[in-house]
Structure 1
Amino acid sequence: MAGESFPFTSSTLRALRLQREWLEWEDRRRAAAQRSRGSHRSLLSPQTRLLRPRRSCRDPAVHSALFSGDLQQVQALFQGEEAANMIVETVSNQLAWSAEQGFWVLTPKTKQTVPLTIAAARGYTDCARHLILQGAELDTRIGGRAALHEACARAQADCVRLLLTFGAKANVLSEEGMTPLHLCTDPESLQCARLLLEAGATVNLASQESQATALHVAAARGLDRHVALYLERGAAVDLRTSQGETALNAACAGAEAGPRHEAAARMLLEAGADPRAAGRKRHTPLHNACANGCAGLAELLLRHGASATVSNGAGHTPMDCALQAVQDVQNWEPEALFSALLDYGAKPIHPEMLKYCANFPRALEVLLNAYPCVPSCDTWVEAVLPELWQEHEAFYSSALGMVNQPRRLQHLARLAVRAQLGSCCRRATPQLPLPPLLRDYLLLCVEGRIQ
């Protein structure tokens, strides 16, 4: 009657079915425990039975049923607790270097796991449910990870829900010391993370070796929606890894030219993350952002108080890291990054370093306009590719013609105003009573020639 009166959604019906199956499974487990206690044939305690050696299986037919998710075969092959908890061994040939023979050789490597982990990792929910109802241990870590770890690593939300419904531990540790939440590393794993937190996963629990939290992992991968979820659930932004990295350090170190890492960093900063917190080798988040050529992320950090002049453990400033990125990062326009650093107080680079930007005329113009006069330096001129010189001859010729020549009074006035504003140049310039064109000029806008 209730089914006729209320329009149950598919998710509600699924939850009710899981609850009914869990109750049936619990009743069978209790009945089995009572029979075990009342039986005079078994002299083993429950603790002793857990230590009983497991069966191992290398049968290709069993492997095929599990890895293909053939429910009928799984139901036929896995009957009872012993079968559901057998060790499944797979052997694969992998290339390994042989020092004795001096070349790569194919070496067989054996991997061990259990049926439930295979089914959960591949999203075979019906197979996983059958194995659980047959007595599969939920948190066993044969092969290093539990079924919940693998389900989260593969973003199998339905299997995560199933495992948690039947009592899998949300904070179960892998042999590497990581929780399932640490393995939510794919954008599609957001629902898995939600389910874990609803089931009691500890958001600030650090991995045993690296001391990284789930927030560190999500920030490093630019998972902005995961970062938002963890912050909403109380993730601490000031926790550090064993290398001294905060989540903001991790976000900037893993940053790529794109919006995701920048969005994650913005959330962390708004939650109180310190933009000057130095981590490994005294790299600040700004050093990392500049090394990755992320102009938008660098400007975001600078707006929140990052220092454009601080040195890391090697004595390199963020500008030095940006110059290195010119060589390492492909297909980007470095002038925006150089302009932001100069506007927030970075010093002009040594003339010898101009050669690294010689083939980026717009970036070179920004850097040359930071000097009172164009310095005498043949290294950057010699570094320009002939075809690029031909394409941008007007700019390169104007720069070469102004070497050690007096610059216009307008340019000298610009430098005087910028020096007075210091690191507040970019924030203060929009508030000055100046025409828009003059404001752009003050902020080293690119004109295509040196005057």
Structure 2
Amino acid sequence: MARETFPFTSSTLRSLRLQQEWLEWEDRRRAAAQQCRSRRCPSSPRARLTRPHRSCRDPAVHHALFSGNLQQVQALFQDEEAANMIVETVSNQLAWSAEQGFWVLTPKTKQTAPLAIATARGYTDCARHLIRQGAELDARVGGRAALHEACARAQFDCVRLLLTFGAKANVLTEEGTTPLHLCTIPESLQCAKLLLEAGATVNLAAGESQETPLHVAAARGLEQHVALYLEHGADVGLRTSQGETALNAACAGAEGPGSCRRHQAAARRLLEAGADARAAGRKRHTPLHNACANGCGGLAELLLRYGARAEVPNGAGHTPMDCALQAVQDAPNWEPEVLFAALLDYGAQPVRPEMLKHCANFPRALEVLLNAYPCVPSCETWVEAVLPELWKEHEAFYSSALCMVNQPRQLQHLARLAVRARLGSRCRQGATRLPLPPLLRDYLLLRVEGCIQ
């Protein structure tokens, strides 16, 4: 009966489609066998055709796999065909409907393999049963193999099981990433070690992005992963398709005080291994630009110690100081005075007076910037930006700044600027080497005092 004359249900249509695929496979198999017999040659592996995998949406199968019920898995998966079935799940996701003009719940079908489900959730016994029943270790149902899923979830025991049974350590996803690329959380360190011991290629670049595992680990601030990859020969000079090195990735990924500390440790590992602190990526953005844009004073100082240049502009003409000023507005919960002092100590020029308004509500940072001038510039560009409650809280500082506008500074301050100008970009190192008392050394390095004199 034609489909147009009878209202087939979706399940019936699905069964018919699977039956048609099966019949087509049988026809191809018989044709190949007949051709081989006609040539009077034995069957070869190339002549064998792969049987199409069946799809399944049975809730009982889903429950057994996702809950890790070993008895049910053993009962349901008793042969190679069952172990290699395609498991389909349907979930409703919000999607924008241009026709209706609002967000609607849209069903999305996802395909995966039983072995991928078991290994992603750490069900080692279930995974072992599926493998013994003939589950394909490197099958990429839905774009990923079981080893990818196990590494992404840091399932150490399952990773070891798969590698023991012969899973390929460099198996690629459809996007061209390896399991090593998916070791993206601290708990996945042991998985990365297993992969490298099994022959994973540490410098293998991923698909279009050309990211290496070192780029991935650096971008997430995974210091131990970075150290591991460097021990296995990771190249710190490799670049992504956007021209970014692993050091660029580490500095770009540092967001927030806690994240800055992690990424600073990863960046230190890279710099000690020979990473270039001046290497500019896309749009001539250097690691220092990225660190300043994220407000990471400690990371910026580390880069400056390893040769990063504080006065170099990026493709848009912005210096690291410009990026730091923007970060004050974007991430206010940090100590910008640390970053400003580091940049000035390594040769950055004082900011343009009109830019002082960006840090008007950060008195400690404003003090550092004002002390980089031989004379306090006009306050008209920033005084109106100060919040009234903040002015009241720090009235002593703001009043001292107002009183010194266009007034001669103390001889002590002018001498400080003269010494700093003489030392130039070596001010931070020079101050620590000069035989100065600690208080005088701190004063030379723009110590915050709470007033302008």
Q: TM-score, normalised by structure 2?
A: 0.89
Q: Secondary structure at the match of 1:109?
A: strand
The match for 2:378 among 360, 368, 376 is 376
Q: Which residue of 2 aligns with 1:281?
A: 283
Q: Secondary structure at the match of 2:141?
A: coil
The CA deviation at 1:436 is 1.4
Q: Which residue of 2 aligns with 1:238?
A: 237
Contact 1:223 1:264 in 2 (8 A): yes
Q: Secondary structure at the match of 2:87?
A: strand
Contact 2:379 2:402 in 1 (8 A): no
Whole-angstrom distance in 2 between the partners of 1:408 and 1:103: 64
Percent identical across equivalent pairs? Answer: 85
Deviations 1:259-309 (A, max 9, x none): 211110000000000000000111100000000000000000000000000
Letter paired with 1:347: Q
The CA deviation at 1:433 is 2.1
Q: Which residue of 2 aligns with 1:442?
A: 444
Q: Which residue of 2 aligns with 1:364?
A: 366
Q: Which residue of 2 aligns with 1:12?
A: none
Deviations 1:51-99 (A, max 9, x none): 2211110000000000000000000000110000000011111111111
The match for 2:264 among 262, 265, 286 is 262
Letter paired with 1:346: A
* Matched pairs, number: 411
Q: Which residue of 1 aligns with 2:221?
A: 222
Letter paired with 1:252: C
Letter paired with 1:379: T
Letter paired with 1:442: L
Contact 1:116 1:136 in 2 (8 A): yes
Whole-angstrom distance in 1 between the partners of 2:248 and 2:360: 30
Is 2:111 the counterpart of 1:109?
Answer: no
Cα distance, 1:331–1:190 mapped onto 2, change above 3 Å? same
Letter paired with 1:392: H
Q: Which residue of 1 aligns with 2:325?
A: 323
Q: Which residue of 2 aligns with 1:9?
A: none
The match for 1:312 among 311, 314, 321 is 314
Q: Which residue of 2 aligns with 1:415?
A: 417
Q: Which residue of 2 aligns with 1:8?
A: none
Whole-angstrom distance in 1 between the partners of 2:147 and 2:46: 23
Contact 2:97 2:103 in 1 (8 A): yes
Cα distance, 1:307–1:296 mapped onto 2, change above 3 Å? same
Contact 1:352 1:377 in 2 (8 A): no
Q: Which residue of 2 aligns with 1:429?
A: 431
Deviations 1:113-157 (A, max 9, x none): 110000010000000000000000000001000000000000000
Whole-angstrom distance in 2 between the partners of 1:46 and 1:56: 25
The match for 1:342 among 341, 344, 354 is 344
Deviations 1:333-384 (A, max 9, x none): 1000000000000000000000000000000000000001000131210000
Whole-angstrom distance in 2 between the partners of 1:356 and 1:362: 13
Q: Which residue of 2 aligns with 1:60?
A: 59
Q: Which residue of 2 aligns with 1:161?
A: 160
Q: Which residue of 2 aligns with 1:124?
A: 123
Cα distance, 1:444–1:244 mapped onto 2, change above 3 Å? same
The CA deviation at 1:45 is 5.8
Q: TM-score, normalised by structure 1?
A: 0.90
Unpaired runs of at least 5, structure 1:
1-36
Contact 1:66 1:115 in 2 (8 A): yes
Whole-angstrom distance in 2 between the partners of 1:388 and 1:174: 54
Q: Which residue of 1 aligns with 2:248?
A: 249
Q: Secondary structure at the match of 1:400?
A: helix
Q: Secondary structure at the match of 2:142?
A: coil
Letter paired with 1:165: T
Q: How does 1:77-116 map to 2 (within 5 A)?
A: 77-116=76-115
Q: Secondary structure at the match of 1:79?
A: coil
Whole-angstrom distance in 1 between the partners of 2:131 and 2:48: 18
The list of structure 1 runs, each at least 4 consecutive aligned residues, that deviate by more than 4 angstroms after superposition, is 43-50
Unpaired runs of at least 5, structure 2:
1-32
Q: Which residue of 2 aligns with 1:195?
A: 194
Cα distance, 1:44–1:134 mapped onto 2, change above 3 Å? farther
Letter paired with 2:80: E
Deviations 1:379-424 (A, max 9, x none): 2100000111100010000000000000011111110110000000
Q: Which residue of 2 aligns with 1:404?
A: 406
The CA deviation at 1:102 is 1.1
Whole-angstrom distance in 1 between the partners of 2:116 and 2:90: 17
Q: Secondary structure at the match of 2:382?
A: helix
Contact 1:255 1:261 in 2 (8 A): yes
Q: Which residue of 2 aligns with 1:271?
A: 273
Letter paired with 1:245: E
